[in-house]
């Protein structure tokens, strides 16, 4: 093929084709508003950084759950599983751990005969060790996904021959399974560090594992002629029936959770990991935690990341205790109190996951899940109906055998509303009664302000996210170009928001009847390298109270 152009033209005659210039890109949002973050105790999951789970892998990654009667901390697992099945796209999980937690090596070594001249028996030993052994071993596996219930290793080598006789093979297939036999990983590599595959890439087992995942670290403990699976071993070739021979371990418990005595430093460490993760999420869930210390860290995270925190107040508390629970956290004093949303569900129900008996399960993560499901339904302009809060008639609790254990009086409902707590209780509507999120208040200590409404918090955080994301895209451009791009972006964004019902005309005299206004300009003091972006928006509100009067006339 002869091309009619070159990429760089010198002095010669010819045609230079420049790379395609793309001015068509429109800033868009991803589906992070269908994802929530959570800090929780789990029986599986890495402890060094957050990881994503979805409804397809939640059992594999977080385990099968333990009963709440063993530890109240296990409620978080129920929340995550339920949320993923009821609308959440993903959960970003930071597993809580203490300094006593430790990950150990699963060490595989050749079994040696006893006596004066020890020799390989053809079998293998599987042990768990804090450190790598000083004595030779075949290989060691460090599984960073930290299964409390342990892992199982199995490996085998294919038959090879040398001079017509079976010879030891340095290449082996290694499988990691969970204790129930479900396959987690499979690697095919060599025990020799200089091994290459057909494409010249490293076939060294540790390198193969590293290329495939960062959750498994493998080290080898033999070199040279010893770095093989012997032909007479139980992991070599085929048995008399032609079946593959595998050397298989029992369940190796390589992770010690080290208890659940979480200190403030443990909570803070988890918070920082969730803040600086590469995963994005729009909501934070408390996961039914009863620990004010964890809630305080989540509130800080909500402030740092401008994400909404939805937390539950234990359903077995009375309204007075529920108010004390919220007040002691002093959330109203936060600058971002509108990002914190409290739910109190005095309801007992069947466990949606089936692991626990009938009991109290918080509803805050379910509220987030409904929100995630709603956010997936974007209109033609890319806006989800966030002006509809997850509350009231259209969002009943999808659980079975719900029993309300406390029926607040009107005065107690008033007390809860003043404390900015949203009750989740039975209400009667056209078509029948149901258990619903009765209100949609944020923790902002305001009386008549848009800041008190969850729908406004949802929309304003979404707008903030879009604007800051676009602003980041426009960094490191010429100032004039950056200002123009930002203005164009904001005009399009706000027009779309108004068309989608998020914004309504303002009656503020300065707004001149407009629903939105913005101002983008180079900073007055630092016009060479700083740009100021300001915008004023009038969001639509939520009808929380309706006053009805009938007047009889003649």
- List interacting residues with other proteins (CB under 8 A): 72, 259-264, 266-267, 290-293, 296, 314, 316-318, 320-321, 323-325, 327-330
Distance CA 298, CA 307 (A): 10
Nearest approach, Cβ of 133 to other proteins (angstroms)? 32
Q: Residue 158 or residue 304: which is nearer to other proteins going by CB?
A: 304
Nearest approach, Cβ of 457 to other proteins (angstroms)? 22
Q: Residue 329 or residue 467: which is nearer to other proteins going by CB?
A: 329
Distance CA 174, CA 217 (A): 12
Nearest approach, Cβ of 272 to other proteins (angstroms)? 16
Nearest approach, Cβ of 447 to other proteins (angstroms)? 22
Q: Residue 69 or residue 472: which is nearer to other proteins going by CB?
A: 69
Nearest approach, Cβ of 325 to other proteins (angstroms)? 5
| Sheet of strand 51-53: strand arrangement | 51-53, 90-95, 35-40, 283-285, 308-313, 340-344, 421-429, 432-437
Query: What letter would DSSP give residue 13?
Result: S
Nearest approach, Cβ of 99 to other proteins (angstroms)? 11
What are the residues facing 474 on neighbouring strands? none
Nearest approach, Cβ of 291 to other proteins (angstroms)? 5
Can you spell out the DSSP letters for 220-243? Answer: EE--GGGSSB-TTSTTBSB-TTSP
What are the residues facing 35 on neighbouring strands? 90
Q: Are 179 and 250 in contact (CB under 8 A)?
A: no
Q: Residue 121 or residue 290: which is nearer to other proteins going by CB?
A: 290
Can you spell out the DSSP letters for 305-353? Answer: HT-EEEEEE-TTS-HHHHHHHHHTTTGGGSTTGGGEEEEE--EEE--TT
Q: Residue 328 or residue 379: which is nearer to other proteins going by CB?
A: 328
Distance CA 235, CA 171 (A): 11
Q: Residue 80 or residue 296: which is nearer to other proteins going by CB?
A: 296
Q: Residue 28 or residue 328: which is nearer to other proteins going by CB?
A: 328
| Sheet of strand 171-178: strand arrangement | 183-190, 171-178, 151-156, 247-248
CA-based nearest residue to 282, from 490, 90, 538: 90
Burial class (CB in 10 A: 0-12, 13-18, 19+), 189: buried
Q: Residue 360 or residue 502: which is nearer to other proteins going by CB?
A: 360
Nearest approach, Cβ of 322 to other proteins (angstroms)? 8
Query: What letter would DSSP give residue 429?
Result: E
How long, in residues, is the chain?
A: 554
Q: Where are the beta strands (DSSP E) in 191-231?
A: 216-221
- Residues 6+ away with beta carbon under 8 Å from 100: 256, 258, 259, 261
Q: Residue 250 or residue 259: which is nearer to other proteins going by CB?
A: 259
Nearest approach, Cβ of 421 to other proteins (angstroms)? 13
């Amino acid at each position: 093929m002869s091309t009619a152009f070159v990429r760089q033209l010198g002095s010669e005659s010819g045609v230079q084709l420049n790379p395609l210039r793309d001015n068509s890109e429109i800033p868009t949002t991803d589906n992070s508003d269908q994802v929530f973050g959570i800090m929780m105790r789990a029986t599986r999951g890495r402890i060094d950084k957050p990881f994503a789970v979805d409804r397809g892998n939640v059992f594999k990654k977080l385990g099968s759950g333990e009963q709440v009667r063993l530890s109240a901390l296990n409620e978080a697992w129920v929340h995550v599983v339920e949320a993923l099945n009821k609308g959440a796209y993903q959960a970003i999980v930071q597993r809580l751990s203490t300094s006593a937690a430790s990950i150990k090596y699963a060490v595989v070594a050749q079994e040696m005969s006893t006596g004066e001249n020890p020799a390989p028996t053809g079998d293998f030993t599987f042990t768990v060790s804090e450190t790598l052994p000083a004595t030779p071993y075949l290989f060691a596996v460090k599984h960073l996904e930290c299964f409390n219930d342990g892992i199982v290793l199995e490996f085998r080598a294919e038959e090879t021959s040398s001079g017509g006789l079976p010879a030891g093979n340095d290449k082996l297939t290694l499988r990691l399974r969970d204790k129930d036999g479900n396959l987690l990983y499979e690697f095919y590599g060599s025990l020799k560090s200089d091994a290459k595959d057909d494409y010249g890439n490293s076939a060294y087992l540790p390198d193969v594992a590293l290329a495939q995942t960062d959750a498994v670290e493998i080290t080898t403990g033999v070199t040279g002629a010893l770095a093989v699976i012997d032909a007479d071993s139980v992991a070599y070739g085929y048995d008399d029936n032609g079946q593959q021979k595998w050397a298989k371990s029992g369940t190796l418990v390589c992770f010690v959770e080290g208890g659940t005595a979480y200190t403030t430093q443990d909570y803070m460490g988890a918070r920082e990991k969730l803040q600086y993760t590469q995963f994005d999420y729009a909501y934070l869930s408390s996961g039914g935690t009863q620990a004010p210390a964890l809630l305080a860290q989540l509130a800080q995270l909500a402030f740092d990341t401008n994400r909404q925190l939805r937390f539950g107040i234990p359903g077995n508390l009375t309204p007075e205790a529920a108010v004390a629970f919220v007040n002691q956290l002093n959330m109203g004093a936060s600058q971002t109190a509108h990002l914190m949303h409290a739910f109190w569900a005095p309801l007992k129900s069947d466990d949606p996951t089936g692991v626990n008996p009938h009991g109290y399960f918080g509803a805050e993560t379910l509220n987030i899940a409904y929100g995630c499901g709603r956010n997936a339904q974007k209109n033609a302009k890319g806006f989800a109906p966030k002006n509809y809060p997850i509350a009231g008639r259209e969002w009943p609790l999808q659980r079975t055998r719900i029993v309300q254990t406390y029926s607040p009086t009107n005065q107690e409902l008033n007390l809860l509303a003043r404390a900015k707590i949203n009750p989740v209780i039975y209400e009667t509507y056209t078509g029948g009664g149901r258990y619903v999120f009765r209100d949609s208040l944020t923790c902002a200590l305001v009386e008549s302000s848009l800041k008190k409404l969850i729908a406004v918090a949802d929309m304003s955080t979404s707008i903030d996210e879009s604007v800051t994301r676009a602003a980041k895209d426009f960094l490191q451009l010429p100032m004039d170009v950056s200002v123009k791009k930002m203005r164009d972006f904001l005009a399009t964004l706000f027009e779309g928001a108004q068309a989608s019902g998020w914004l309504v005309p303002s009656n503020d005299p300065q707004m001149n009847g407009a629903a939105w206004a913005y101002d983008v300009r180079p900073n007055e003091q630092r016009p060479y390298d700083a740009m100021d972006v300001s915008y004023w928006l009038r969001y639509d509100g939520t009808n929380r109270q309706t006053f009805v009067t009938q007047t009889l006339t003649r």
